[in-house]
Amino acid sequence: MQAKQETGPSLQKMPLFEPPTDPGNISPRVIQRFMADLNAHVTDLNALIDTYEAIKDTAEKIRILQEIQAIIQQIDSEFPDVLIALLPAYLNKHAVIFKEIQEQYRHLGVESLVRDSTSPSVLTEVIANMSPEKADTLLSMLLASLPPPDPKKIVVPKSGAMNQKLINLYAKEDNSPEAVQFRQFLKSHTITFLGGNNSRNFIVVPLAMDQPTLVLKVENRLGGPKDAENHLRKLAPDLLAPVYADRLVSTGGGNTENYPLAHSDSLLF
């Protein structure tokens, strides 16, 4: 006899989105195509949610959740960030459905959103499972900690100085699994700014000698979609550094940036 599955809250559908009221200098034709393609993905996503709610088998529900995640990742990759930023309603729903999917996984006995078990670091878990609000705040803290640009002076950041600032990401009284995991990560790694303008790179060095050094990359796509990079990764997987976790986060004011965790051996030269 099959054990009774714990029932969690329903996974809510995404609404079909209306065009932005102020598209700026983006042409109506581009906006029309963007909205049609976005809402086509939303329709597919909602059909999967209907399927998810209708089935009872745990393994099948997990598979459908993964397909739902894949559609959301496709949206994040397919459209330029300047278009996504025009739809705060989508960004809000993006954050809501992230937490809903996370909660559904927990009810199904899955504690992590990381699907690739070959990840070399706990930072992958931290980035992949961090709540959208904390991911946005972490990005703002990272960017605020950067030294001011000075072409006449080379600033060498002090190793570990950034850790002292990031420890305040969670309140001291916050003992949630997410907060505890982040504090453990900070105790076992140092984060230091490496450099970069459009892409800001942070070296993540473990205190344990047997752990790999990573690069945390904050990437501004400058209005370009990411699907071209994804296609290149499929065609030539050894050409680019592997990405172990990737989040679309916002710095506020409608700006979005990608937040990938990449291995350092192909990014440091």
Top pLDDT among 1 and 38 is at 38
What is residue 110's predicted lDDT score, i.e. its pLDDT? 92
Overall average pLDDT of the 130-144 stretch? 89
The pLDDT of residue 52 is above 70: yes
**HSE of 24, CA atoms in CB hemisphere, 13 A:** 7
The pLDDT of residue 156 is above 80: no
Asked if 31 and 23 touch (Cβ cutoff 8 Å), the reply is yes
163-167 contact pairs (CB < 8 A, 24+): 163/189, 163/190, 163/191, 165/141, 166/138, 166/141, 166/142, 166/191
What is residue 264's predicted lDDT score, i.e. its pLDDT? 27
What is residue 260's predicted lDDT score, i.e. its pLDDT? 52
Would you state the structure tokens that stand for residue 59, as one six-digit string?
Answer: 């393994």
What is residue 4's predicted lDDT score, i.e. its pLDDT? 43
User: What does the mean pLDDT of the chain come to?
Assistant: 81
What is residue 1's predicted lDDT score, i.e. its pLDDT? 36
**Per-residue pLDDT band at 80 (split at 50, 70, 90):** confident
264-267 contact pairs (CB < 8 A, 24+): 264/203, 264/212, 264/213, 264/214, 264/215, 265/241, 266/240, 266/241, 266/242, 267/201, 267/215, 267/217, 267/241
Collapsing DSSP to helix, strand or coil, 132 comes out as helix
